[in-house]
Structure 1
């Protein structure tokens, strides 16, 4: 009798494991509808032969990331609208927002991931659907929040490949220089024209693609991750600043809160940066109008007199982003672009703006997909 029960239990366990394995391998494509419209928010300057800075504020949702092809469809529609309105030329520098590449972590997943009601539920489904990859990532995880590290690390190989294929492909398709927002990867670097990952800490990094679709230089890693990311993300050394040559001029990239530090603008000045791109992301649907929380656990630069709670989050971003504000920044212009949309129970905020000649320009509308153009 004992042998029979053992055999029955073994068969049942085998059936469960086979069913689970078949379930994890099944990746059906769910129904998909997406708004491909984008409105012109800002158009400053006069068209000439010096090129232009073009910020694209997308409105994205988890289902847009169900496959790289779906995300390409939406972003290509935005770029096509810009082309139709005369904003695309061989000297155009396109800027996308922070973390637009990070959400590739949920690409190719089961419907349960996209249908989850909370971010935590979505990450649980992500782990359950990829048990071996999650276990390996958890074993390699670093920092104080190993679970969050594992979620980001478990698909890093495919994320890096999809990031380069998607954004490099868009740059080549539309013949532009493309600042591809940012993506979180372990020790990212470019070797022989390919984006590679390492086995060390995770970094929030931005890569620029040329008109041929190939990376230009090395990824710019974020130097000051905000307080609630410090348990997961590594910080690049404060003195590491990359400036690259583009058809429109020398370009520097400041990721998110890196744009709050006057030191970084002086470093860019020393390298002759003429243009500055700020990919950004603010979590929380109403966060833009709430009191600014300060430097979020980081030391406040001595040049900054702004105190926590003195202004709103949005006002702080526009006061601290010093692009083209003499004498600290000698850049001709810049654009700050925020990622908008809804990622499960995490809303987003941020109102993209153009900086030029010490002034800032926006259209007063935060929500929805927006184009912001500055003729140089």
Structure 2
């Protein structure tokens, strides 16, 4: 009798393992429909021969990332509407928001992940749906928050492939220079035009693609991740700022709050940067209007006279992004572009704006309009 019982238990365990293995391999196709609404919120200057900076303040949710093709349809719809408005030409620089590539970890997952009530629950579904990848990534994880590291590292090869194919493809499809927001990957670098990965720490990086869909230069790494992110995202050396030649002029990219540091503008000045793109992301619904919490790293500049709590988060972004305020920056123009949307229980609240040598009170008005949908922020150069 015991032998029969033991045999039954073994068969039950084998059946459970097989069923779990089959379940992890199943990826049903969702019928989620994207919200493709977009408004021209800011349109400054007059069309000419100099080209333009065009920020796309996307509005995204987890379901938009169910596949690379699905996300492509949404972003291509935004760009097509910009083209229909006459905002795209051979000298256009399109800027997308920070972490638009990081959420690619959710691509190709089960419906339960997209339908989760919280980010924590979604990460549980991510782990149990990819057990071998998760365990391998957890073994290789670095930093204090090894679990956060593992969740971003576990699908890094697929994320890197999707990031280059998606954003390089959009740049070529619409014939523009495209600042592809940012993505968190382990030790990323470009080799013979292909995005490659190492096995070391995670970095938050941005790649610029030319109108042929090819990367320009090496990935720009973020210098100052937030205090929380520094537990699993490595800050880059302070010397690692790139300035790239584009049809509209020499372009520098400052990721997120890297745009708050005068020393970064001084370095871009030394490399004759004419234009600056700031892909950014503010976490939390309503955070934009709440008191500023101060610099996000220990390296707060001594010569900036702002104290936490004395202005709002939004006002801090506007005042600390120094593009166009000579002599801090000699660049003639820049655009800061924020991601909007609701990722499970994690909201967002950034409002995109233009910076230039002749500031205007109307730079941000259009992005404050009520209603759902994405925003276009355009500056003719």
Counterpart-to-counterpart distance in 2, 1:95 and 1:12: 54
Structure 2 residues without counterparts, runs of 5 or longer: none
- The match for 1:109 is 109
Q: Give how far 1:31 is off.
A: 1.8
Q: Give how far 1:363 is off.
A: 2.0
Tell me whether 1:374 sits opposite 2:379 in the alignment. Answer: yes
- The match for 2:290 is 290
Counterpart-to-counterpart distance in 1, 2:296 and 2:77: 37
Are 2:224 and 2:296, in contact at CA under 8 Å, matched by a contact in 1? no
Q: Give how far 1:365 is off.
A: 3.5
- The match for 1:123 is 123
Counterpart-to-counterpart distance in 2, 1:143 and 1:234: 8
Counterpart-to-counterpart distance in 2, 1:310 and 1:228: 22
Counterpart-to-counterpart distance in 1, 2:105 and 2:234: 18
Counterpart-to-counterpart distance in 2, 1:143 and 1:245: 35
Question: Structure 1 residues 329, 358: closer, same or farther in 2, change over 3 A?
Answer: farther
Q: Give how far 1:357 is off.
A: 1.5
- The match for 1:53 is 53
Q: What TM-score do the two structures reach when normalised by structure 2?
A: 0.97
Counterpart-to-counterpart distance in 1, 2:85 and 2:99: 27
Are 1:326 and 1:358, in contact at CA under 8 Å, matched by a contact in 2? no
Counterpart-to-counterpart distance in 2, 1:331 and 1:358: 12
Q: Give how far 1:358 is off.
A: 4.4
Q: 1:233-248 maps to which residues of 2 (within 5 A)? A: 233-248=233-248
Counterpart-to-counterpart distance in 1, 2:337 and 2:147: 29
Q: Give how far 1:368 is off.
A: 3.2
Counterpart-to-counterpart distance in 2, 1:252 and 1:287: 27
- The match for 1:65 is 65
Q: 1:33-52 maps to which residues of 2 (within 5 A)? A: 33-52=33-52
Deviates more, 1:101-110 or 1:295-304: 295-304
Tell me whether 1:230 sits opposite 2:235 in the alignment. Answer: no
Deviates more, 1:45-54 or 1:334-343: 45-54
Tell me whether 1:190 sits opposite 2:190 in the alignment. Answer: yes
SS in 1 for 2:236: coil
Counterpart-to-counterpart distance in 1, 2:337 and 2:299: 25
SS in 2 for 1:245: strand
Q: Give how far 1:362 is off.
A: 1.1
- The match for 2:367 is 365
Are 1:351 and 1:364, in contact at CA under 8 Å, matched by a contact in 2? no
Q: 1:239-318 maps to which residues of 2 (within 5 A)? A: 239-318=239-318
- The match for 2:320 is 320
Q: Deviations over 1:6-36 (max 9, x none)?
A: 1100000011011101110110011211111
- The match for 2:160 is 160
SS in 1 for 2:367: coil
Counterpart-to-counterpart distance in 2, 1:359 and 1:200: 42
Q: Give how far 1:364 is off.
A: 4.9
Counterpart-to-counterpart distance in 2, 1:373 and 1:357: 16
Counterpart-to-counterpart distance in 2, 1:214 and 1:365: 31
Tell me whether 1:20 sits opposite 2:15 in the alignment. Answer: no
Output the aligned Cα RMSD: 0.9
Q: Give how far 1:5 is off.
A: 1.3
Counterpart-to-counterpart distance in 2, 1:77 and 1:149: 33
Question: Structure 1 residues 297, 355: closer, same or farther in 2, change over 3 A?
Answer: closer
- The match for 1:345 is 345
Structure 1 residues without counterparts, runs of 5 or longer: none
Tell me whether 1:218 sits opposite 2:218 in the alignment. Answer: yes
- The match for 1:9 is 9
- The match for 1:99 is 99
Q: 1:135-154 maps to which residues of 2 (within 5 A)? A: 135-154=135-154
Aligned residues: 376
Are 1:202 and 1:233, in contact at CA under 8 Å, matched by a contact in 2? yes
